[in-house]
A and B are shown apart, each in its own frame.
Chain A
Amino acid sequence: MTGRHPGTRLVASLCSSPAGALDASVKVICVVGFVTAVVATPPRAVLAFAVDALLVLAAAAASCLPARVLARRMSVETPFVIFAVLMPFIGTGPRMDVFGIGVSVPGCWAAWSIIVKASLGVAAAIVLAWSTPTAEILAGLERLRCPRALVMIAGFMVRYLDLVAAELRRLQIARISRGDDPRWLWQGRAVATTAGSMFVRCFERGERLHAAMASRGFTGRFPTTAAPQRPRRWFPAIMWPLVAWVVALAVLIP
C-alpha cells in the first residue's frame, strides 16, 4: 500500500469553522457538560429536549457539519433504537391503544427517553469528532489530566483501527476467494478461525510495537510529547452546556 489514505480529510478547512478553531479540551468539556445535562433531564420534559436539539443543530452549524453527514453517522445508534422500540410492547404497567395495538405507557416513555437521550448524545459526539482532528482530541484529553496511559491506549486504538480493518478485509477476501460462503451458524468455522487469527496477529503486532517503544527508551512511563494546541477560549462554546443545564435544572427544580 503506497497510496495516500482515502479517508484523508482537509483538516485545514474543518479548522476554519468557528468550532474547528476552538481548543479540543474546551470542546471535550462542553460535550461532556451537554451530555450530562441531557441525561439529567426527565423524560417527560419534551420541551427541554427540543431546546437541546436546537443547541446540537447550532453546534453542527458552527462546525460546518452537513445535515446529511450528521444523519448518516447517527445510524450508529440503530441497535439502541431497535431495542427501545420493543419496550412499549414488553413493558408493564398501565396500557393504552395505539392503532388498535395495546402498548405499555411506562414502556413508551422509557423508549422515548432512550431514543432522545442517545440521539442527542451521539449527535454531540459526532459534532466533536467532525470539528476536531483525532490527534487534537487526544491532546485535549491529555491537557485535561486524563491519565496518560489511557490517552496512549486510545491513541493506539485510533492509529491501528485502519490497519486491523484492512487486515481483516484481506483475510475475508482470501477466505471468500477459496469458495467459503457460510450461510448458517454451523458453517462459520472459517469465520471463527479468521477471528482467532486476527487476535493472534494483533497480539504479535502489540509485541512488535512494544519492542519499537522500548528501542526508543520507553520504560513504562509515558512521556509528554509535543501536541497540537489552540487558544483556549471558553466563550461562546461554554454557553452550549450551560443552556442545556439551565433548562434541565428548570425542569428538575419545581
Chain B
Amino acid sequence: MSAPSAPPAIEIERVSFAYPDGTAALSEVNLTVAPGERVAVLGPNGSGKTTLVLHLNGILAPTSGRITIEGICVEPGSLAEVRRRVGVVFQDPDDQLFMPTVGQDVAFGPANLGLSGDALSRRVLGALDRVGLAGMQTRAPHHLSFGQRRRAALATVLSMDPNVLVFDEPSANLDPVARRELAELIVELGHTTVIVTHDLLYAAELCPRSVILDDHTIVADGPTAALLADSDLLGAHRLELPRCVTLSGLYPGG
C-alpha cells in the first residue's frame, strides 16, 4: 500500500473577489503549488497580484471559490493556523515593522501564537540569526538600512515557523547587493515560496515555475524560462524583459 501523498502547499480553486464598491480584483483564479516549490506570480500593475497575496492567509476572503493551505481550508475558524503556516512579507517593510525595536517586532507573531519567556527569546534570536541580523534585536527599525529592514521583515514571519513564504515585490527598492543577498536567502531557506513580482529577472533567478496574472485571472502557467522566451505572451500582458537582456539573447524569443 503506497503512502498517502502530501496535500498541495497551496490550492486555489476558482477564486473570485470583488471589492465592496463592486470593482473586480480576481476572477476564477486557479493555482496549485506543490510542497517545496518556488513559484513566481507575474503581472502588470493593477492585475490583482497583491489582492491574491492577501487571500493566501485570509486577510481577504474570496467572494466565491476556495483556498486550502496544506489541506486546511482558509476560513474564519482556521485563520490562526493558516497564518502560522503562511508567512507574508509585504512590499514595504515599514508597514511590517511597527514595533519600537526589531526584537519586539520579531516577537510579535510568536507572542500572538502564545509563546513567552525563553521559548519566545529563542524564536526571536533564531529568526534574526537566519536572516543575518544577529545582535540587532535592540535596534529601532528606522535605524536599519532598507535592505536590513527587508530582511528584518522576513525575520518577523520566520519567527512564526511558517511552511509557506509569500513575498510581495521582494526586489522593490533594493540595491543590487541587497537584492542578491535576499535571493540567496530565499533559496537557502528552502520553504515553499510564492513570489509576486513584475521583476521578470528576479523571477527567473528564483523560480523554476511562473504564472502570469492579468485582467484578474491566471492567463499562463509554465516553466519561467519558457514564459520569458515568449515575447508575444509577455507583450500581450504588459510584461517586458530589460532591453539589455533581450539583446543578449539569453531568452531568444523574449
Contact = CB atoms under 8 A, between A and B. Distances in A.
B243 interface: no
A215 B112 contact: no
Interface string B58-69: 010000000000
A94 interface: no
Contacts of A208: 90, 92, 95
Contact of B90 (A135, A158, A212): A212
A135 B112 contact: no
Nearest to A1: B146
B109 A217 contact: yes
A43 interface: no
A159 B112 contact: no
Interface in B136-171: 137-138, 140-147, 156-157, 160
B98 A212 contact: yes
A225 interface: yes
Contacts of A224: 111, 116
Nearest to A134: B100
A80 interface: no
Interface size class of A (residues with CB under 8 A): 35 or more
B231 interface: no
A254 interface: no
Interface string A18-50: 000000000000000000000000000000000
B111 A225 contact: yes
Contacts of A226: 103-104, 107, 120-121, 124, 137
B99 interface: yes
Contact of A216 (B94, B140, B156): B156
Interface stretch (A2-10, A67-75, A178-186, A237-245): A2-10
Q: Could you tell me the dominant secondary structure of chain B's interface residues?
A: helix
A158 B95 contact: no
A3 B121 contact: no
A170 interface: no
A210 to B, nearest CB: 9
A124 to B, nearest CB: 22
A217 B101 contact: no
Contact of A223 (B96, B111, B140, B156): B111
A129 interface: no
B59 A138 contact: no
A216 B112 CA distance: 7
A134 B100 CA distance: 7
Contacts of A205: 95
Given A217-B109, A225-B111, A2 B99 contact: no
B193 to A, nearest CB: 16
B83 interface: yes
Contacts of B96: 212
A91 interface: no
Contacts of B83: 214-217
Q: Could you tell me the dominant secondary structure of chain A's interface residues?
A: helix
Contact of A217 (B54, B84, B141, B142): B84
Interface string B112-130: 1100100011001000000
A219 B58 CA distance: 13
Contact of A219 (B98, B99, B112): B112
A4 B121 contact: no
Contacts of B124: 226
Nearest to B54: A211
A212 B100 CA distance: 15
Nearest to B96: A212
Interface of A: 1-5, 8, 11, 133-135, 138-139, 155-156, 158-160, 162-163, 205, 208-209, 211-219, 223-228
The 10 closest A-B pairs by CB, nearest first: A217-B112, A223-B111, A216-B109, A135-B100, A225-B107, A208-B95, A225-B104, A2-B146, A135-B101, A212-B96
Interface of B: 54, 57, 59, 80, 83-84, 87-88, 90, 92, 94-101, 103-104, 107-109, 111-113, 116, 120-121, 124, 137-138, 140-147, 156-157, 160, 173, 175, 178
Given A155-B100, A217-B112, 4 more contacts: A2-B178, A208-B90, A215-B57, A226-B120
19 contacts: A2-B146, A2-B178, A3-B145, A11-B138, A134-B140, A135-B138, A138-B100, A139-B100, A155-B100, A159-B99, A159-B100, A163-B94, A212-B88, A212-B95, A212-B98, A214-B83, A216-B112, A224-B116, A226-B124
